[in-house]
Chains A and B, each alone.
Chain A
Amino acid sequence: MSAGTFTPRPAAAPVTRMIRAQTALETRMLLRNGEQLLLTVIIPALLLVLFSSVDILDTGAGKSVDFLAPGVLALAVMSTAFTGQAIATGFDRRYGVLKRLGASPLPRRALMAAKTLSVLLTEVLQVALLTVIALALGWSPHGNPLAVAALLLLGTAAFSGLGLLMAGTLKAEATLAAANLVFLLLLVGGGVIVPLDKFPDAVRSVLELLPISALSDGLREVLRNGAAMPWGDAAVLACWSVLGLGAAARFFRWE
């Protein structure tokens, strides 16, 4: 490096280039993390294979894979948008990554856009993989793909808001513990693998209001029963999105 190497020439990159670079980096960080992959890919895939081939769950009439596939897709969305994003963002905050990026030319909005894109990118990979596995297990999906996409997006918005709220307010270790616990509880109580009608009526009417229940039920309505857009479930997800993203925007602490 010779004289004049460091001569100032400061300027931010175009914002689209920054978002592209940030999205690529965030996605690589996500896919490189072994624990995250366990949560986002291996657990949903195993649940799908296990419970479709071994008949230990009473999933109602019809093939069990037709019940399970929509639930596992909902689980995949939750694992990435909520659990994975909460844990990763919590540790980014703890290690000063968010702080350091805050002094770079990358605007906060662009950082959030990149995080969202990277979550969506990961979900595309998950959905593709789980769909292939489910089809191999004899899944016969119905319904309008656009309704499915709309539900997946609404679910992503709802879970992202909750995940970011947790990551931006709790300590990284607390987020790690809480996000995993919530994942486990919602896996059992959110209609993913256990049908909600197995629960007592009073409990069930509460569980139905959870975002995971709304997402798995909505996906099942479309994919198994060929329904048009399930507006009730969509409304529940929209409420969670507004509440979660609003609270995250209000309470998120960057350091």
Chain B
Amino acid sequence: MSNDPAVEIRGLVKRYGPKTAVDGLDLTVRRASVTAVLGPNGAGKTTTVETCEGYLRPDAGTVRVLGLDPITQAPALRPRIGVMLQSGGVYSGARAVEMLRHMASLYADPLDVPALVDRLGLGSCGRTPYRRLSGGQQQRLALAMAVVGRPELVFLDEPTAGLDPQARRATWDLVRELRADGVGVVLTTHHMDEAEQLADEVAIVDAGKVVAHGSPELLCRGGAENTLRFTGRPSLDLASLLKALPDGTQAAELTAGVYRVTGDVDPQMLATVASWCAQNGVMPDSLTVERHTLEDVFLELTGKELRA
């Protein structure tokens, strides 16, 4: 049973009136891994996550979370998942620590509340009513509420939106620790660096479908070409270099003595270029690899226009 994927979504469709928010989405999330769901505004990230949390009934397709149907088996599922909504979820008059302690009291074996409060830096605002907390403090409280019940799997909808750099790093550390302790994490984000830093798997969603899925390294390598630049003597014979490199690789002299090789840049290619330089008596003054970032891949896949 614990070999089931943490989340398995097949052909999910969700419509709001005439608008199709999720349009045949497939996604599998392994247990105890971190999955980042990326996508432009309105891509269907929140809709997908909320379907997993049992808030929305799919119009078509199946969703299984920890092997359970989030709607018909909700009572069994709810204690096992932690939820951080994109916003809200707390009584406006409740104090931060009061609310966290309350959430803890709904579980049989919750985390130690004072330690969690410390950990997320909520101590100084522990007695402040929710409506007077800053946006970042509200986010951190919502995060604490998601993990306090010792869930097996947490869904975090934009957990670092509006956080300062310190709080963002504290959230990243927490996510890493959750994973190390065997908790699965599904998070949505608009920060590419966050996905690159944290995620075992990235799913890029656009217009209600997964358009790319894989580890950040794989996506950066596969989704777009990378480049290698080096400098040397002018007018080198690039044709002989290309012969030594895989098909599809391109090479050009940009300006006198500045060369660019475009293709699937991996350690093997680097070694080939270096040994070709050695054979030709070229001492590269500089040799840099420019890897595409997740952001390049994201923009390439989802286009550059603003979304409605």
- Chain A 141-178 interface 0/1 with B at a Cβ cutoff of 8 Å (1 = within): 00000000000000000000000000000000000000
B209 within 8 A of partner (CB): no
Contact of A32 with B79 in the complex, beta carbons under 8 Å? no
Q: Tell me, rounded to whole Å, the shortest Cβ–Cβ distance linking A22 to chain B.
A: 8
Contact of A103 with B83 in the complex, beta carbons under 8 Å? yes
Q: Cβ of A12: which chain B residues have Cβ within 8 Å of it? A: 78-79, 106-108
B246 within 8 A of partner (CB): no
Contact of B151 with A100 in the complex, beta carbons under 8 Å? no
Contact of B105 with A7 in the complex, beta carbons under 8 Å? no
Q: Cβ of B87: which chain A residues have Cβ within 8 Å of it? A: 96
Contact of A18 with B106 in the complex, beta carbons under 8 Å? yes
Q: Cβ of A97: which chain B residues have Cβ within 8 Å of it? A: 88-91
Contact of A95 with B90 in the complex, beta carbons under 8 Å? yes
Contact of A8 with B182 in the complex, beta carbons under 8 Å? yes
From B78, B92, B111, B178, contact of A104 by CB (8 A): B78
A9 within 8 A of partner (CB): yes
CA distance A102 to B88 in the complex (A): 13
Within 8 A of B (CB), among A14-71: 14, 17-18, 21-22, 25, 28-29, 32-33
B180 within 8 A of partner (CB): yes
Knowing A100-B83, A102-B55 are in contact, say whether A10-B107 is a contact too (CB < 8 A): yes
Contact of B181 with A5 in the complex, beta carbons under 8 Å? yes
CA distance A106 to B79 in the complex (A): 9
- Chain B 71-107 interface 0/1 with A at a Cβ cutoff of 8 Å (1 = within): 0000100111101010111111110001000110111
Contact of B106 with A255 in the complex, beta carbons under 8 Å? no
B44 within 8 A of partner (CB): no
CA distance A11 to B76 in the complex (A): 9
From A25, A107, A255, contact of B55 by CB (8 A): A255
- Chain B 52-80 interface 0/1 with A at a Cβ cutoff of 8 Å (1 = within): 01110000000000000000000100111
Q: Tell me, rounded to whole Å, the shortest Cβ–Cβ distance linking A175 to chain B.
A: 15
Contact of B89 with A13 in the complex, beta carbons under 8 Å? no
Q: Tell me, rounded to whole Å, the shortest Cβ–Cβ distance linking A118 to chain B.
A: 12
Knowing A21-B105, A33-B93 are in contact, say whether A1-B88 is a contact too (CB < 8 A): no
Stretch of B142-150, B272-280, B287-295 lying at the A interface: B142-150
Size band of the interface chain B makes with A: 35 or more
CA distance A12 to B77 in the complex (A): 10
Q: Tell me, rounded to whole Å, the shortest Cβ–Cβ distance linking B87 to chain A.
A: 7
- Nearest residue (CB) in A for B181 is A6
From B78, B105, B177, contact of A17 by CB (8 A): B105
CA distance A28 to B106 in the complex (A): 17
B183 within 8 A of partner (CB): yes
From B55, B88, B103, contact of A95 by CB (8 A): B88
From A7, A14, A29, A105, contact of B181 by CB (8 A): A7
A99 within 8 A of partner (CB): yes
Contact of B75 with A100 in the complex, beta carbons under 8 Å? no
Contact of A5 with B103 in the complex, beta carbons under 8 Å? no
CA distance A104 to B99 in the complex (A): 13
From B53, B115, B182, contact of A103 by CB (8 A): B53
Knowing A96-B85, A103-B83, A104-B78 are in contact, say whether A1-B119 is a contact too (CB < 8 A): yes
B152 within 8 A of partner (CB): yes
B305 within 8 A of partner (CB): no
Within 8 A of A (CB), among B148-201: 149-152, 177-178, 180-183
CA distance A106 to B106 in the complex (A): 7
- Nearest residue (CB) in B for A20 is B105
Q: Cβ of A105: which chain B residues have Cβ within 8 Å of it? A: 78-79, 106-107, 149
B109 within 8 A of partner (CB): yes
Q: Tell me, rounded to whole Å, the shortest Cβ–Cβ distance linking B83 to chain A.
A: 4
Q: Tell me, rounded to whole Å, the shortest Cβ–Cβ distance linking A3 to chain B.
A: 7
**Chain A interface residues (CB < 8 Å from chain B):** 1, 3-14, 17-18, 21-22, 25, 28-29, 32-33, 91-92, 95-97, 99-100, 102-107, 255
- 11 of the cross-chain contacts (CB-CB < 8 Å) are A3-B177, A5-B115, A7-B182, A8-B181, A8-B182, A9-B109, A12-B78, A22-B106, A96-B85, A103-B81, A104-B103
